[in-house]
Amino acid sequence: MTKEELRSEIRDGVEFWGYEAEGELIGVMGIQQVQDVTLIRHAYVRTANRNRGIGGTLLSFLRRQSTRPILVGTWKAADWAIKFYEKHGFRLVSAAEKDRLLRRYWSIPPRQIETSVVLAERK
């Protein structure tokens, strides 16, 4: 993401949180309140620091900030990310529900709707 894209996301209400170790930023995750739901946006942990629980720690922290239903959108092809969210209590919603949710809560072009999935908290 470019600096300008980052600024634009922040202007649109995405609140970014970071995970630091020894003064270095090694993970980020955003949270965005949209209408009656909370979206988890832009999860990213530095390659060398993955699979050590940092993404899970950030996700648990962000989930505690919200009392609304939480949704996550990611790419259909991102098996690793889907597994990550499933491990943390999310489930993939049906194709029809996904299309409805992406149109309602995200501002993305039709082409990206086709290549995306949505996960919702199991509860």
Ligand X SMILES: CC(C)(COP(=O)(O)OP(=O)(O)OC[C@H]1O[C@@H](n2cnc3c(N)ncnc32)[C@H](O)[C@@H]1OP(=O)(O)O)[C@@H](O)C(=O)NCCC(=O)NCCS
Q: Which residues bind ligand X (CB under 6 A)?
A: 43-45, 50-56, 74, 78, 80-81, 83-84, 87
Which of 44/106 has CB closer to ligand X?
44
- Shortest CB 83 distance to ligand X, Å: 4
Q: What is the DSSP letter of 109?
A: -
What angle do the packed helices 54-64 and 79-87 form, to 10 degrees?
Answer: 60
Which of 53/69 has CB closer to ligand X?
53
- Shortest CB 11 distance to ligand X, Å: 20
- Shortest CB 78 distance to ligand X, Å: 5
Structure tokens at 36: 């009656």
**77 CB burial (10 A radius; 0-12, 13-18, 19+):** exposed
- Shortest CB 115 distance to ligand X, Å: 13
Q: Is 65 helix (H, G, I), strand (E, B) or coil?
A: coil
Side-chain half-sphere exposure of 42, counting CA atoms within 13 A: 18
For ligand X, the nearest residue by Cβ is 55
